[in-house]
Amino acid sequence: MLHYRTRRRLFSTLVLIVAYVTLLSPIAFVMIASFDYGQRAYVVFPPDRFTLDSYWRIPMRYWDSLWISVRVALLCMLISCAIGIPAAIGIVRSNLPGKAALLAVFRAPMQIPAVVSGVAFLHLYYLIGPLLGLQFVGSFVGMVIAHVFAATPYVVGTLVSVLQRFNYELEEAALVLGASRWGTFRQVTLPMLKPGIFAGALYAFMISFAEVPISVFLAGSRMVTFPVEVFNSMLFDFEPSILAISSIVTILSLTLVWLSQWAVGLDKFVQVGGAD
């Protein structure tokens, strides 16, 4: 009979292996299947042959839409942080009445089904567009605004979690020792919030990059994000190059995560705990 600790370790390892396989097998499936080409209507797994044809034949429209998605996601991330960081600080640290209600308002977009948000933005843009003399539907700005609506709650939620566990005594110590309010914020508060800000920014980028239900309604002839391009292709017919471009996006994402670990340290995200 194995020792209790050995049994517990074996069980934990088994759970971890099952979790990894469950999470990673769809990605592995897509990447392996991307090396088969020639069949237009269905996925071939395991591949009948290994070829890079589906990579060489990726249509330009996927690269164009990928670039659009990256730009939209980057701008969405910046704006969401610009709104979410002060909002989170204000909600946690202020003495405003109805803070819980204010937090609920900031989190409301997470409760609304995305397709409902998409239709709402579509109608809103056609309502205010003529009044402002601007075209929002099918535009970069319109897409970013809608994505910011969807992504900001994740920034706010992440930072509220961090701020609620924040050790204020460190700030008080800095002030007592003669630091100015701005100096305290810059040298004490901000460094301690950095992991939370980074996590919130990463969430905002991911939410925007992967967004489909809202983007489907706001896409135009020159504004199609990558997930919408893939979605529209898959609805009509399967195309092997979708697997190839998806594999490339996966590798780029993993590279980004590795760079984040190297630059900031991902273990700090685990401590943060994410949005609750």
Binding site for other proteins (CB under 8 A): 39-43, 59, 119, 122-123, 125-126, 129-130, 137-138, 216-217, 219-222, 224, 228-229, 232-239
**Could you tell me which of 129, 195, 209 has the C-alpha nearest to residue 161?**
195
Nearer to other proteins, 3 or 40 (CB): 40
Least separation in angstroms between residue 35's CB and other proteins is: 17
d(CA 229, CA 216): 9
Nearer to other proteins, 7 or 123 (CB): 123
Nearer to other proteins, 122 or 156 (CB): 122
The three-class DSSP label of residue 82 is helix
Least separation in angstroms between residue 158's CB and other proteins is: 32
Least separation in angstroms between residue 122's CB and other proteins is: 5
- Angle at CA 275, nearest 5°, toward 274 and 276? 115
Least separation in angstroms between residue 269's CB and other proteins is: 35
Least separation in angstroms between residue 149's CB and other proteins is: 17
117 to 33, 150, 177: CA distances (angstroms): 34, 9, 49
Nearer to other proteins, 38 or 183 (CB): 38
- Structure-token pair, residue 94: 């202020």
Burial class (CB in 10 A: 0-12, 13-18, 19+), 23: exposed
The three-class DSSP label of residue 66 is helix
Nearer to other proteins, 213 or 274 (CB): 213
Nearer to other proteins, 121 or 166 (CB): 121
**Residue 124: CB partners within 8 Å, gap ≥ 6?**
none
Angle formed by the axes of helices 140-164 and 190-209, nearest 10°: 140
- Structure-token pair, residue 249: 């996006």
Least separation in angstroms between residue 34's CB and other proteins is: 15
Nearer to other proteins, 1 or 60 (CB): 60
d(CA 37, CA 54): 6
Least separation in angstroms between residue 220's CB and other proteins is: 6
d(CA 256, CA 260): 6
